[in-house]
Amino acid sequence: MAKYRCPKCGVECFEVTAHVTQDWKIDGNGTFLESLNDCVEVTHDPDEEDIWSCANCDFSAAGREFRNLEAERKGAGA
Ligand SMILES: [Zn+2]
Beta bridge partners of 25: 34
pTM for the full predicted model: 0.76
| Termini Cα distance of the chain | 13
Place 75 in a pLDDT band, splitting at 50, 70 and 90: confident
Please tell me the distance from the alpha carbon of residue 72 to that of residue 29, in angstroms, as a whole number. 52
Query: Domain segments of the chain: what residues?
Result: 14-70
Q: Does residue 66 surpass a pLDDT of 70?
A: yes
Q: How far apart are the CA of 9 and the centre of ligand 1, in A? A: 4
- Distance from the CA of 53 to the center of ligand 1, in angstroms? 8
Model pLDDT, residue 77? 60
Contact between residue 12 and residue 64 where contact means Cβ atoms under 8 Å apart: no
Cα 66 from Cα 13, distance rounded (Å)? 11
Confidence label for 67 from pLDDT (cuts 50, 70 and 90):
very high
CA of 78 to the centre of ligand 1 (A): 27
Quote the ligand 1 centre to 13 CA distance (angstroms).
Answer: 8
How close is the Cα of 6 to the center of ligand 1, in Å? 5
